[in-house]
Structure 1
Amino acid sequence: MAWQNLSVRAQENCRGGGSNVMIQGMARVSSDKFDLQTNPKGIINLGVAENQLMSKELAAILRPVNAVDPKLFGYSEGPSGSKLLRKHFADNIFNQYFEPHEPVYEDHIVFTAGCSATVDNFTFCVCDPGDGILITTPFYGGFNTDIMAKSKARVIVAHLEDGVSPFGVDQVELMQQAVDQATAEGTRVRAFVLSNPHNPLGRNYPREVLIEFLKFASRNKLHILFDEIYALSVFDYALSGEAKQEQPDQTPFISVLSIPNIEDYCEKELVHVAYGMSKDFCLNGFRCGCLVSPWNKDILEAMNSIAVFTWMSSPIEAMIIKLVENPATIDWFVKTNQRRLAESYTLTVDILRAHRIPFLPAQGGHYIWIDLRQYIPSALVNMAAAGEREAEYMLWKAMLDKGVYLNLGVAFSEKKVGFFRLSFSVPPWLLRIGLERMLRACERTFTLSASL
């Protein structure tokens, strides 16, 4: 075997390299990408959470930075981010928008080359190979790679049963069962990771649930990492009409940093936040993420000790400093982006309603969780109900063939077959074309199968 000269962990990664359907989908999109002029029949990407709504504005803000300035040819100040970058993030982002009960300072922040690198480095610092990190379903599929590929920790999945809300306190009992079972099987569970706002469900956790999560982490002596990368992409306040009325609640985004007297619920040194520039600031390709840990000097030291492997480039750091140095620019950018997200969301739900496609109303993020089970071929309904995913893959492939990419429920460890995450953060004209292609693919799949 060609892999025999590789390490065991590398062999494991090679064997599992084709199993990530998110990566498979992105590869298909990249090989046949939509372009209105040169490839109008190419694939429109409504699967990746990549915000294209502020591209022109970003270009105008960043254009003055000379990326080939010889001053940027050398190493930057340090692998964890310069003091100026960390200070701007502390003062102009975290202290301004996350409403921390205690101020965040630059020394509380360690930068990496993207939020995936942050989760990877965090896992390396709190887990030995074989240790577990708990996540509840459905969850962002990239966590599997972030946690397992390099650090060789394990994802411990707590599947939420029917009737157990991802935003209610009942799930804590299932979380405890998952930890107890993993422990009984010999796995030491070291941390709990969650996204707030939720990915893929696009909703905020209520305060009482966040507090129960903190208590749970304390009881089990787990680090708890709050991925708050969509914190400034909450848009429900800007909705109107039916899109506003159908919201099941008005729960605001609450950063864990804002909870007073956090020590009443959990040891403060166990509490951490991951953040990055990919989502709220539409810079997926810049690869800028960070860990905020105000109360744990040890983990900051540990993260700093390996930061050299995830060092941002000097030109990228210079451009990000330009973006975040002016509070007025940030405020304008955030509010404009939120309004545009609300407009794209409204367009999406109007079309979904018109075709009677169920969905979970979203408050934030770049996506909406939709239910396409009505398009499952009748011959596959019973198999889908039993958890067989053939129908879900059939719909996914039909959409790709029609020129649009959505992310499947299986990519988020969703047990029910037929759910998809639809990203709407693209220009409205492109969104309309993508949704039309999605509908044609679904209807054609159902019609053809019914005639067989």
Structure 2
Amino acid sequence: MEGVSKMLEYLSERGKKWVRTLPPLVKAHFDNFYNMYDKETNPKGLVNMGTAESHLVNKEVCNLLRKSAEHMDLTGYNIHYNKFEGSDEFRTAIANHWQKIIFGEDRNVVLGKEQVATCAGCTVALETLATLLAEPGDAFLIPAPYYSSFVDDINERAGVLAVGVPCDETLSRDAFEKAYEKLT
């Protein structure tokens, strides 16, 4: 903590408010970052079971992405800054997917790219939504099981509570409606 104390003297008052002890899961992630298991290069390394990513399948995922890239029509548009909300193609694909998953045959609601914005990961998406849409003390219904740091991610700055909705590999609109009714 000595290094943190020294650092504080250089921070603004606003910056000092953000300095805190990391949650145990986040601290473990960064403590283990430079000692990750790899069968060939670091067989005595650690496997981080607390972060929602698997480095054990890196080779397979990279190969799949390379294979997929062969079928993509990549242009300069794809490799530079894009729209803040994400590319039209990506948002359209997401809208089509969620239309099927959430609304199915119900045509009273039709999702299009205009109703979709993307972020660089679930954590930043949830925190952004919590900060912009909810008041402190409001609750977010999140499919459970979920990444345990979501609790800190949406509560730390936004003051929003995470409420898990038990789900299997599919999302159930009914489960979310029941959880919502329970809260209201």
Instruction: Return closer, same or farther for 1:22/1:70 CA change in 2, 3 Å cut-off.
Output: same
Instruction: Return closer, same or farther for 1:205/1:62 CA change in 2, 3 Å cut-off.
Output: closer
In the other structure, the counterpart of 1:49 is 52
Q: What SS does the aligned partner of 2:85 have?
A: coil
In the other structure, the counterpart of 1:79 is 84
In the other structure, the counterpart of 2:180 is 214
The alpha-carbon deviation at position 155 of structure 1 amounts to: 4.6
In the other structure, the counterpart of 2:41 is 38
Matched, 1:109 2:116: yes
The alpha-carbon deviation at position 119 of structure 1 amounts to: 1.0
Q: Partners in 2 of 1:63 and 1:33 — Cα distance? A: 31
In the other structure, the counterpart of 1:6 is 12
Q: Greater Rg, structure 1 or structure 2?
A: 1
Q: Partners in 1 of 2:175 and 2:70 — Cα distance? A: 43
Percent identical among aligned pairs is 18
The alpha-carbon deviation at position 196 of structure 1 amounts to: 5.6
In structure 2, the gaps of 5 or more residues are none
Aligned residues: 169
The AA in structure 1 aligned to 2:45 is G
Instruction: Return closer, same or farther for 1:82/1:48 CA change in 2, 3 Å cut-off.
Output: same
Instruction: Return closer, same or farther for 1:90/1:71 CA change in 2, 3 Å cut-off.
Output: closer
CA contact 2:138–2:160 (8 Å) conserved in 1? yes
The alpha-carbon deviation at position 109 of structure 1 amounts to: 0.9
Q: What SS does the aligned partner of 1:15 have?
A: coil
Q: Partners in 2 of 1:65 and 1:204 — Cα distance? A: 29
In the other structure, the counterpart of 1:406 is none
CA contact 2:37–2:45 (8 Å) conserved in 1? yes
Instruction: Select 2:158's aligned residue among 153, 158, 175.
Output: 153
CA contact 2:134–2:160 (8 Å) conserved in 1? no
* TM-score of the superposed pair, with normalisation by structure 1: 0.32
Q: Partners in 2 of 1:38 and 1:71 — Cα distance? A: 37
In the other structure, the counterpart of 1:61 is 68
Cα RMSD after superposing both structures:
3.5
CA contact 1:196–1:204 (8 Å) conserved in 2? no
Q: Partners in 1 of 2:88 and 2:137 — Cα distance? A: 33
Q: Per-residue displacement from partner, 1:137-172 (whole Å, max 9, x unpaired)? A: 9863222342244xx22254xxxxxxxxxxxxxxxx
The AA in structure 2 aligned to 1:214 is Y
The alpha-carbon deviation at position 65 of structure 1 amounts to: 5.2
In the other structure, the counterpart of 1:88 is 93
Q: Partners in 2 of 1:73 and 1:211 — Cα distance? A: 40
Instruction: Return closer, same or farther for 1:108/1:205 CA change in 2, 3 Å cut-off.
Output: closer
Q: Partners in 1 of 2:163 and 2:76 — Cα distance? A: 41
Q: Partners in 1 of 2:145 and 2:73 — Cα distance? A: 42
Q: Partners in 2 of 1:208 and 1:95 — Cα distance? A: 16
